[in-house]
Structure 1
Amino acid sequence: MEPITTGPRDQRRCRVLGIPIDVCRDVFAAAIGLHSDGGGQIVTLNAEMTMNARRDSDLGAVIEAADLVVPDGAGVVWALGRQGVKVRRSPGIELAWSLLTYAAAHGWRVALVGASPDVMERLLDRLSVQLPDLKLVFAENGYQQPSDWPLLEARLKSLRPDLVLVALGVPRQEFWSCSQRQGLPGLWMGVGGSFDVWSGLKQRAPEWTSRLRLEWLYRLVQEPSRWRRYLVLPRFVWTVLRRGERRS
């Protein structure tokens, strides 16, 4: 564990397999505090991203530079627990929705980037009903021609939103957020498949799977083609056990 100064956001940086992760009493309060401090990038870390970051130094550098790294997966929570660090899992989809709700209540300027055109269209319809006060200043799907991205990015930067939620998939959303947010205020957060769930096109895993740490199995049943991705989970567990990261 690598402690750093605990500031007003009650945030302490630890490490799992050398990859940084922040421990907070309340990740939502930490995110709001980060916005008050001028903004920054939020990364949601799970076992798969941890292992990918160990192999990909560029991804590792992006996570290292992030201002708030949230324990999104049960695996990283378990690994922290072996170090004597007790923390609750903080699903990124829940944090992102809490930020959207807060944004609607406080007049934040919000941008949404990513997912398919159909998902984005359905999402905007739902948000207009669920969060009618949301000040949405930018909404573009992720299926753009390469030549269109520079203009979209320039327009987004000119808007200087308070909250940018990016659904371009891991690690593209992390790399893109890191490159675009430089010199800008606001919170930038990768949200993976959250737009699919919020649009109603996909169902989130039931709560009982989260309690039993079986969300990965639910997703695998829904999308069997993802099976190769889940081979990383036993490798993660074995690597944590082999390295013997325990309370010092």
Structure 2
Amino acid sequence: MDAVSTDPCDQHRYRVLGVGVDACRDVRAAAIGLHARGGGQIVTLNAEMTMTARANPALGAAIAAADLVIPDGAGVVWALRRQGVRVRRTPGIELARALLSYAEAHGWNVALIGAAPEVMEQLKRRLLEELPSLRLVLAEHGYQAAEAWPQLEQRLLSLKPDLVLVALGVPRQETWTQRLHAGQPGIWMGVGGSFDVWAGVKQRAPEWMSRLQVEWAYRLIQEPSRWRRMLSLPAFAWQVLRRGERRR
């Protein structure tokens, strides 16, 4: 990474199409360091979320206020490189899984919020098989009745977990987390469809597709209804080229 210091926890915020994103040498170290500093919110930024944030002020505000915004998508990494900032893509699903393993090893209390009821049940079973010492203090699906959310939120806040993973979809998981985590300890992170993958309901793209940076095609095959959302990818590339964001 050319534009930052050699500190492994070093973190510098740049902008891609006006949306903040952080470059740091070791994202896992930065996330764990966030916990040590009293906690905060992690956002995983890709091209689709960048375009959504430009049109959704609430999401844009949540990203701007986040304590760590990682470059989750290949498009964001490409846009940063055009500015002379060389970072590796950090898939949010991999960072979240690394944090779960760290949580098990260090006795952290963990809370999971989101996904469908059947996914959450399967997820709890599989996680406790794979991480038997994980201290899972709360695991609730995201299909709660409107009147149930205040009680769930109060229960979550009272537990003061060390790690909260939220799978409510973009932008809700980011705005919900921003509202709740203020003044709370621990790491709070939106994880999108990670629960579905960990539960075995969906599969990640094969490694060769990841290397070629065409994971979006695999997601589209699994969920054809996403095609409209995928239109944001060429729009993102065009805007980056049009704005000409390069090294100053």
- Report the counterpart of residue 201 of structure 1 in structure 2: 201
Counterpart contact for 2:62–2:178, Cα < 8 Å: yes
Cα distance in 1 between the residues matched to 2:4 and 2:173: 27
Alpha carbons of 1:152 and 1:6: their partners in 2 closer, same or farther (altered >3 Å)? farther
* Aligned residue type for 1:122: Q
- Report the counterpart of residue 14 of structure 2 in structure 1: 14
Cα distance in 1 between the residues matched to 2:4 and 2:17: 17
* Aligned residue type for 1:94: E
Give runs of ≥4 in structure 1 deviating > 3 Å: 3-8
Shift of 1:9: 2.5
- Report the counterpart of residue 152 of structure 2 in structure 1: 152
Counterpart contact for 2:4–2:10, Cα < 8 Å: no
- Secondary structure at 2:231 match in 1: helix
Cα distance in 2 between the residues matched to 1:112 and 1:42: 15
Q: 1:101-136 CA distances to partner (integer Å, 9 max, x unpaired)?
A: 000000000000000000000001101110000000
% identity of equivalent residues = 70
Counterpart contact for 2:8–2:29, Cα < 8 Å: no
Shift of 1:5: 10
Cα distance in 1 between the residues matched to 2:65 and 2:238: 27
* Aligned residue type for 1:238: W
| 2:233 equivalent to 1:241 | no
Cα distance in 2 between the residues matched to 1:186 and 1:88: 25
- Report the counterpart of residue 88 of structure 2 in structure 1: 88
| 2:55 equivalent to 1:50 | no
CA RMSD of aligned residues (A): 1.4
Counterpart contact for 1:6–1:12, Cα < 8 Å: no
Structure 1 unaligned residues grouped into runs of 5+:
none
Cα distance in 1 between the residues matched to 2:6 and 2:227: 39
Q: 1:186-206 CA distances to partner (integer Å, 9 max, x unpaired)?
A: 000000000000001111111
Cα distance in 2 between the residues matched to 1:51 and 1:4: 26
| 2:187 equivalent to 1:191 | no
- Report the counterpart of residue 119 of structure 2 in structure 1: 119
Alpha carbons of 1:117 and 1:224: their partners in 2 closer, same or farther (altered >3 Å)? same
* Aligned residue type for 1:143: Y
| Number of matched pairs | 246
Cα distance in 2 between the residues matched to 1:5 and 1:214: 31
Cα distance in 2 between the residues matched to 1:129 and 1:15: 40
**TM-score with structure 2 length normalisation?**
0.97
Counterpart contact for 1:8–1:33, Cα < 8 Å: no
Structure 2 unaligned residues grouped into runs of 5+:
none
* Aligned residue type for 1:74: A
